[in-house]
Structure 1
Amino acid sequence: MNSLGVLMEALASQSINTIKTTLIWLLRTTWIVGTLPILIASLPSQCLNSFHSLLLSFAKRGKIMPSSSHRFTVPQSFFLHFYLLALIWTTTLLMGTWYFAYKVTPLSTESLSYLAAANHLTGGSLVFSLHKSRFSSVDDRFNVWKAVFLLLLMEIHVLRRLYETFQVFNYSPSARMHIVGYLTGIYFYTAAPLSLCTFCVLEAFNFAADQVAEFKVEGQEMVSITDFDLWGYMKPLTRLGWCQWTGAVIFAWGWFHQLRCHAILGSLRERGDRTNKYVIPYGDWFEVVSSPHYLSEMILYAGLLVASGGTDFTIWLLLGFVVANLVLAAAESHRWYLRKFENYPRNRQAILPFVY
């Protein structure tokens, strides 16, 4: 049995590691492919003007998209699709990773002793032993719980965005966005949560599948071992390091200001009576930049990077894509405001206070 267990572990580890390497490579490649065209189009060269205009046509939506340009567009209210997808997908990743972390990678020695005893009482589950052996070091267990923490922050973010789509924003019936921008959003909210947990997501769902198969065999005999323990799930999060909590504070700062700025934008649409009438927004960070909701989005993703410890290049690339994409969109919004309103405050920058 020991020889069989070693063989199974070696084969499973090799397969998962191969898939994980491919997944990480694909995520990093797509973030780079999405960011590079924006950086190239931003270069101060006359020969790139047409390329820059093409990218802007993909990014335009709402007020900055010409009302006559409806080819290859969808209603801006389709933003709802982004956040429904993001909520379902992020919740799935969070639940799977959190369960895996609790069962296989406890941070305390007491939990390790308990799980060892539980494993012994259930006859020495081979499935449990194989998964636990891959995350035997303290650093590996910590990284799994760090992924749980990042997904929890992402969950908080997408929950609010979904709420705002229903309760805050009142999209004009004529507001449109380009189909390329729509598909980019669908991809983003699939890949972004996944980029936060590549370290353990495959192992987590492989473990969940094994647990389901084992439950079908052992049935109710497993129930006493798998009783829900809320504090047991929460306690390891309190043992995370200063990077995680510093990142959470930065995330909360951006999250709170985006909430306020979105409320301001939503109130403008109410005053506009669902027409194409626009007014200048004031309040909060709108006093210094034209797109503070984009600035706060950049800040909260920077918070995720800090909370990750800054050691995962995939999350760096995710942040790079967010920054490049939002700076491009903010610059176009700023130009639109300046063209639209003669009395637009000249002290406002596009997205970075006092800089750009």
Structure 2
Amino acid sequence: MEDFHMFTQKGQAANPVLHPDATLLTRYYILPATFLCSQCPLQISFFCHARLMLGKMKILMETFDPQSINTIKTCLIWLLRAAWIAGILPVLIASLPSPRLNSFHTLLLGFAKRGKIMPSSSNRFTVPQSFFLHFYLLGVIWTTFLLMGIWYFAYEVAPLSSESLSYVAAVSHLTGGSHVFSLHKSRFTSDEDRFNVWKSVFLLLLMEIHVLRRLYETFHVFNYSSSARMHILGYLTGIYFYTAAPLSLCTLCALEAFSFAADQVAEFKVEGREMLPITDFDLWGYVKPMTRFGWFQWAGATIFAWGWFHQFCCHTILGSLRERRDQTAEYVIPRGDWFEIVSSPHYLAEMIIYTGLLVASGGTDFTIWLLLGFVVANLSFVAAETHRWYLQKFEDYPHNRFAILPFVY
């Protein structure tokens, strides 16, 4: 230890003027690594070099400019909005009652057709409809990843009460707390900012409930026919949707949460912090902030639950029409629940689900408005064709049923 102390003092004397970050890097990583590598075997030398690299990564993350995060976040938000608009406009144009647009309407409908409304002979540029499973696997994995990261970020950085924020800041200061925590807390000092973080957690939690149920239905409710197909562009659209939709619910804090997580990983590796034992997990601390939500959040959750329940009922009815995958019997008219008033009640329920998410968000995020617009435009477009298919297929089809919106459309 004396040799190490002497070496450190010499290193400091030889470099009297250094940038603060360079001083930190020299004092805690370069000098110890150089000394130990000269005295120890190859294994310790490798360890020291690894520690040196982690130290550099930690310093780079801690000095990451918050303005850069804001710039990237703005670009991400506008990219998502542009993508949703690009998905809405073609449907709106194709839906205009103009003979000049008939060919465009037919072209777009060819991309949107799937299952029973797609001719069984149409196998070119198509994939099995059972590939819907990919949507929900992706949705569950991606939504879970976002939810866990942002929930932890909200718990550590964005307590809703100012008293909690002051307490955490005081403890961090008195215990020589991490610069990582103070850096990220400085970006969420207002009550509104912290509330928006927890609101994103709530929206992702609802989305998680939704995609988990859809994944369950794929395995235990639906029996997709081996001949059922969907267009490859429809498949790619679904992949995009279940990537962009969860992200659209948390754009206000997703990048900050990722940056915080990266800082935490780097600090854990560099400083060798021990992970908290499972008995120290503060479950109530992760849930309590949601009790402070207003009526917008709970009204939105109620609307979401209403649509969620009826969609499950309608999917169960549809799934019961085909008990086996190899069943080739003719399609029958679905009956029960919302099928008595519209031809595509599961699409109507999906629209209600995303309306609930919009209400729960408070309606202030234009990106979520566009997300709902994309859902409504595309499902209404497909529902209209499904309704026409039912009317052509069954002579006794109930004429009091609407396509998707009761008493409207």
The TM-score normalised by the length of structure 2 is 0.83
Task: Please tell me whether residue 270 in structure 1 is matched to residue 345 in structure 2.
Answer: no
Match of 1:201 in 2: 254
SS at match of 1:43: coil
SS at match of 2:400: coil
CA contact (8 A) 1:280 1:344 kept: yes
Equivalent of residue 299 in structure 1, options 352, 357, 363: 352
Q: State the 1:12 CA deviation.
A: 1.8
Match of 2:209 in 1: 156
CA contact (8 A) 2:111 2:231 kept: yes
Q: How does 1:251-266 map to 2 (within 5 A)?
A: 251-266=304-319
Q: 1:223 to 1:117 in 2, by over 3 A?
A: farther
Supply the AA of the counterpart residue of 2:264.
Q
Q: How does 1:181-196 map to 2 (within 5 A)?
A: 181-196=234-249
Match of 1:173 in 2: 226
Supply the AA of the counterpart residue of 2:222.
F
Equivalent of residue 282 in structure 2, options 229, 239, 242: 229
Rg: which structure is higher?
A: 2
CA contact (8 A) 1:87 1:158 kept: yes
Q: 1:224 to 1:108 in 2, by over 3 A?
A: farther
CA contact (8 A) 1:301 1:319 kept: yes
Q: 1:271 to 1:10 in 2, by over 3 A?
A: closer
Task: Please tell me whether residue 94 in structure 1 is matched to residue 147 in structure 2.
Answer: yes
Match of 1:75 in 2: 128
Report the more deviating stretch, 8-17 or 288-297.
8-17
What does the per-residue CA deviation read over 1:41-69, in whole Å, with 9 as the maximum and x for residues that have no partner? 00000000000000100000010000111
Aligned-pair identity in percent equals 81
What does the per-residue CA deviation read over 1:134-174, in whole Å, with 9 as the maximum and x for residues that have no partner? 00000000000000000000000000000000000000000
- For residues 213 and 236 of structure 1, the distance between their equivalents in structure 2, rounded to whole angstroms, comes to 28
- For residues 227 and 136 of structure 1, the distance between their equivalents in structure 2, rounded to whole angstroms, comes to 26
SS at match of 1:348: coil
Q: State the 1:271 CA deviation.
A: 7.7
What does the per-residue CA deviation read over 1:263-319, in whole Å, with 9 as the maximum and x for residues that have no partner? 000001118962252000000000000000000000010000000000000000000
CA contact (8 A) 2:225 2:325 kept: no
Aligned length in residues:
353
Supply the AA of the counterpart residue of 2:221.
V
Match of 1:125 in 2: 178
Q: 1:271 to 1:82 in 2, by over 3 A?
A: closer
Q: How does 1:7-18 map to 2 (within 5 A)?
A: 12-18=65-71
RMSD: 2.1
Equivalent of residue 285 in structure 1, options 338, 343, 358: 338
- For residues 226 and 116 of structure 1, the distance between their equivalents in structure 2, rounded to whole angstroms, comes to 24
- For residues 69 and 108 of structure 1, the distance between their equivalents in structure 2, rounded to whole angstroms, comes to 58
SS at match of 1:71: coil
CA contact (8 A) 1:35 1:320 kept: yes
Q: Which runs of 5+ in 1 are unaligned?
A: none
Q: Which runs of 5+ in 2 are unaligned?
A: 1-19, 22-59
What does the per-residue CA deviation read over 1:320-341, in whole Å, with 9 as the maximum and x for residues that have no partner? 0000000001000000000100
Match of 1:45 in 2: 98
Task: Please tell me whether residue 344 in structure 1 is matched to residue 397 in structure 2.
Answer: yes
Stretches of 4+ moved more than 4 A in 1? 7-11
